[in-house]
Amino acid sequence: MNPRMSPISNFFVLAGLFVLMIGFAHAGDFSHISGSYQVLGKTDVGSQTQVRLQLQLSNHGQRDLHIQRITLWDSPHHPSGRPQACSLLVHPGSSASTTQAFTMPSSEYRLWTGGARLKLLVAVEGPGGRKATELVRLDRISGGKAN
């Protein structure tokens, strides 16, 4: 048996590597989102807390991102609420702001006002209509209401 690969096998290996590299290049379009938040107001309703947040999302990538939906994410396994519709265009190297209202368990609200990082699951449409979701950790902007 000849240990060298045939030219056809070489072609298929190179074609597979090329396709894999294109996938990784496109995935990078969506991995440059960061954000911050400020609490604008909160209301306790029984065991739930309604909170109004100003979100500042930044695009550190090189292509426009169209944010279509955002969801609060309270653990690595599941979101804490329903997705919120959001139409926000964030140009490369810039940021955009939106105000959104969320309802969550009061216990979760106490956790992240006590120091736990707030996270958003962001649904993004990129160039060519490609869609992706990304989990974004948010930093708290000083001056927001804490109680």
By the 8 A CB rule, do 106 and 86 touch?
no
Between 34-38, 50-54, 70-74, 135-139, the lowest mean confidence (pLDDT) is in 70-74
Asked whether residue 62 carries a pLDDT value surpassing 50, the answer given is yes
* pTM of the predicted model over 0.75: no
pLDDT class of 100 with cuts at 50, 70, 90: very high
Asked whether residue 112 carries a pLDDT value surpassing 90, the answer given is no
More confident of the two residues 60 and 17: 60
pLDDT digits (tens, 9 = 90+) for 21-54: 444 444 455 568 999 999 999 999 999 999 999 9
Asked whether residue 12 carries a pLDDT value surpassing 70, the answer given is no
CA torsion sign for 75, 122, 137, 55 is negative
Cα 27 from Cα 21, distance rounded (Å):
10
pLDDT class of 19 with cuts at 50, 70, 90: very low
* 53 burial level (CB within 10 Å; 0-12, 13-18, 19+): buried
List, in order of start, the domains of the chain with CATH numbers: 7-140 (2.60.40)
Judged by phi (left if over 0) then psi (alpha if -120 to 50, else beta), residue 142 lies in: beta
